[in-house]
Structure 1
Amino acid sequence: MSFPIDRLVITPHVIDLSRSPLAGQFDAETYVLGAFNPGMTVLPNGNLLLMVRIAEALREPIRDGRVHAIRWEAAEPPAEGEVASKGRYVLDSWPMELADTRDPRKFTLPGGGWKVMALTSLSWLLPVEMTPDGMDIVAIHYDRAVAPEGSWQCYGLEDARISRIGDDEYLMTTCSVSPERHSTTLYSSYNGLDWTFEGIVLDHQNKDMLIFEGLVGGKYWAQTRPLGDLWFAYPPGSAWRAGPSINLATSPDGRHWKPHLLPHIRPRTDRPATARMGGGAPPILTEVAGKRGWLCLWHGVEPKEIVGIYRTFWTLLDENDPTVVLAEGETPLLEPAPELTRPLEDLLYLRDVVFTTGVVDLGDRFIVASGEADLACRVTHIPKDAFTP
């Protein structure tokens, strides 16, 4: 499906690494591997904010027979019970004969019976203020970048999702990466630009946490997506496919979360395009397909080579009981768009990926923010009549 307003609005060329949190901290050149997967919200002044993931990578990760990675570490060990207030970025290295470097985003290492990997880049988050239609940059707020500040995110922060709840409460979930855990961390803001770290809210390998943009029954609700390498089989003939799925959780305060007992959105055996799935944009309360409810945009992955093909699908949940599905699209809402990245062919290291991370309701249409090819930020205006079950 094509849309008249659909383009890349932020590319690696826009980013000034001389203003990066990593600038000047080690003796090696870096570049922007990707500026993508933007969390999106509406600022108090009516402009849009894209919280862009900047994947900053070493220009030469492999040299002298070793492969290197960037890591944040505390400048001084914090006192017991305290958070490190200052840190620095350092380089680690491993012998090439130990590393599998086939995936351009990471390399794997011997793990004694389980998978161990390191990243070819370190990600931090850059707030970019856009015009209300999401098409043009108003300001890039380097001074408000969100970067690692503790050992739990020493390999970076990834994939912000921003939910505006009421007039002055913004909650942002991020994926924090470290050898300690692969966790979901929470930030809060009163204005969408200045962010306060609230702590870890979901523990190891629970990604794509999306907080609903509003309370339901006086509670905060969220979609989550646990990961893992082991899944138990459904019985023969089941409509469901074993693997990662989207779950629900509730909270009295947005900080302490309890998983819901019943399953939520699961991969089906008759839909190979959703063999793997995860949350996309935080659910918003709106009306599509003649029904009012919580609109969820999520990604489904069709197996192909190493990464697979990422597409965006949609589901509408009941306004008062989000466990109930009112409608859903059987075909993708958004597909990867190679024509958009063709001018950036020399920068491409990945294909077949659109990863939706934000949505705003404009009345007759939606503004949808996505990462394209793990390289750039894509903004699409999608009319409401495109949502057909």
Structure 2
Amino acid sequence: MNIYRYPGNPIIEPKDIPPYLEDYEVIGVFNAGVMRYGDEILLLLRIAERPVHHDPKYSLSPFYDMANGKMGVVRLEKGMPGYDFSDARGIGTPDGSLLTSISYLRIARSKDGIHFKIDDRPALFPENRYEIYGIEDCRITQIDDTYYINYSAVSNLGITTCLASTKDFAYMQREGVIFQPDSKNIAIFPQKINGKYYALHRPSSSSFGKPSMWIAESPDLLCWGNHRYLMGCRDGCWDETRIGASCVPIKLEQGWLELYHGADRNNRYCLGAALLDIDQPWRVIARSTLPLMEPETAYEKDGFFGNVIFSCGALYEQGKVRIYYGAADTSMCYAEVDMAEIMRGMKECEGLSGK
């Protein structure tokens, strides 16, 4: 695939972000929702901060302390029996998992789509029981004059998907939980289809299946039902162990284009594409045989969690798809590709879709 990566990638790195929390450090800026607003491109960045470590014998897990309305920290001695400290992203405990950082959303603004000015304060920061471990990986869907922001909210109750709305990106109205645990990677279509709203989502898998993409419908963006299987993993391929929606679907004459992510058995994350029927979006018309993008550069291979390309937003302008993506769970990067190139890279796959 003929992908253009911006030569100055990454366009935003942790060092570019001053910490919001006192005695914390920014370890990741990635997986941003994207929207053109007026004459600017906005990135709704996922910022991951962690407490500064003063004693390497201990691991720290931050959380939003609802009782006191401020941040708290769990301090655990490494090597404790029954605890797993092997993953830098989290701590396994007898009662469940804890995270070693806390994420929230912060706006970056740009005239040219490359050079961004980052707001001093969060746009959305944890504030309720569903968000005590953080807010992650948002997507932005514009419907009429309202921008709907769905995001993963993480807590000891599981990972829910919540919805917020705004008309000006100055005030965010929380609308509540719209998908139950543990459904992630929600991408809401930017218009009604035959009188209904639609969204792609990825439910947690049981021991009988792999994480796959589903589609649901709603009369009001809040209550979602008629869940249907859309497409799944492919043995021996780049998307063999899990897949999920990445960007908000793009409407074309040929159908709805969905950029999605997939991972293999080595947790190598790539981007691919699928084409959905314009009037029946639960029907898959075509799908990438090879990745649209795969980790190739040093900034994509090495980082907090390496070998990862993960996008939550793209713009389709003047025949090109402008992709903003997280690299190695560490930084934000930019790439673009001709839409015609994406379409040529897909193969018809009628019969793989849900019924």
Q: Which whole-Å CA distance do the structure 2 matches of 1:180 and 1:340 have between them?
A: 34
Inter-partner Cα distance in structure 2 for 1:101 and 1:244:
25
**1:104 equivalent in alignment to 2:88:** yes
1:320 alignment counterpart: 279
Report what 1:173 is aligned to.
150
1:352 to 304, 307, 330: 307
- Matched positions, count: 340
User: C-alpha distance in 1, partners of 2:104/2:146?
Assistant: 22
The CA distance in 1 between the partners of 2:186 and 2:94, in whole Å, is 29
Tell me the distance in 1 between the aligned counterparts of 2:55 and 2:160: 28
| Mapped partners of 1:337, 1:272: distance in 2 | 14
1:50 aligns with 43
Verify the 8 A CA contact 1:68 1:91 in the aligned structure 2.
Answer: yes
Corresponding residue to 1:254 among 221, 237, 243: 221
1:126-168 Cα deviation digits (max 9, x unpaired): 111122x52111x3223452100112111110111111112x1
Q: Give the AA of the match of 1:128.
A: A
Residue 269 of structure 1: how far off its partner (Å): 2.7
User: CA separation in 2, counterparts of 1:56 and 1:120?
Assistant: 9
Aligned pair partner of 2:70 in 78, 84, 88: 88
Judge conservation of contact 2:315–2:322 (CA < 8 Å) in 1: yes
Alignment-mate amino acid for residue 311 of structure 2? T
Over 3 Å counting, the alpha-carbon distance change for 1:299 and 1:61 in structure 2 is farther
CA distance in 1, matches of 2:316, 2:290: 21
| 1:333 maps onto 2:292 in alignment | yes
2: CA distance, partners of 1:32 / 1:144: 13
> 2:191, 2:142 → 1: CA distance?
8
- Please name the residue that 1:383 is paired with: 338
Which residue identity is paired with 2:41?
L
Report Cα offsets for 1:69-109 as digits up to 9, x if no partner.
11111255xxxxxxxxxx20011123431421111111111
CA distance in 1, matches of 2:238, 2:41: 35
Closer/same/farther in 2, CA of residues 249 and 12 from structure 1, 3 Å limit? same
Counterpart of 2:243 (choices 257, 277, 281) is: 277
- State the match for 1:141 in structure 2: 119
Aligned residue number for residue 352 of structure 2: none
Aligned in 2, Cα 1:12/1:91: closer, same or farther, shift over 3 Å?
same
The aligned residue for residue 13 of structure 1 is 15
Give the structure 2 partner of residue 294 of structure 1.
256
CA distance in 1, matches of 2:43, 2:222: 23
Partner AA of 1:105 in structure 2: R
Percent identity reads 28
Q: Which residue of 1 aligns with 2:59?
A: 67
Q: Distance in 2 between matches of 1:378 and 1:249?
A: 30
Q: Is the 8 A contact 1:33 1:56 kept in 2?
A: yes
Q: What are the superposed Cα offsets for residues 191-238 of structure 1, whole Å, 9 maximum, x if unpaired? A: 24431111111111111111011111121100010114x332xxxxxx
Matched residue SS, 1:386 = helix
CA RMSD of aligned residues (A): 1.9
2:26 and 2:48 in contact (8 A); partners too: yes
Match of 2:214, as an amino acid? Answer: N
1:293 Cα deviation after fit:
1.2
Q: Which of 37, 42, 46 is equivalent to 2:31?
A: 37
Alignment gaps of 5+ in structure 2: 347-355
**Could you tell me which residue of structure 1 aligns to residue 204 of structure 2?**
227
Equivalent residues of 2:3, 2:336 under 8 A apart: yes
1:274 counterpart SS class: coil
1:213–1:283 contact (8 Å) kept in structure 2: yes
Aligned partner of 2:4 in structure 1 is: 4
d(CA) in 2 for partners of 1:341, 1:264: 29
Counterpart residue type for residue 259 of structure 2: L
Report the secondary structure of 2:133's partner residue. Answer: coil
Whether the aligned pair in 1 keeps the contact of 2:300 and 2:306 (CA below 8 Å) is: no
**Structure-2 separation of matches of 1:178 and 1:214:** 31
AA aligned to 1:195 is: M
TM-score (norm 2): 0.90
In the alignment, is the contact (CA less than 8 A) between 1:314 and 1:329 conserved in 2?
yes
How far 1:272 moved relative to its partner?
A: 5.1
Q: What is the CA-CA distance between 1:350 and the residue it aligns to?
A: 2.3
Q: Hey, which of these two has a bigger chunk of helix by percent?
A: 1
Please say if residues 73 and 151 of structure 1, whose CA atoms lie closer than 8 Å, have aligned partners that are also in contact. Answer: no
TM-score, length basis structure 1: 0.83
Deviation at 1:61? 7.5
Q: Which moved more, 1:215-224 or 1:192-201?
A: 192-201
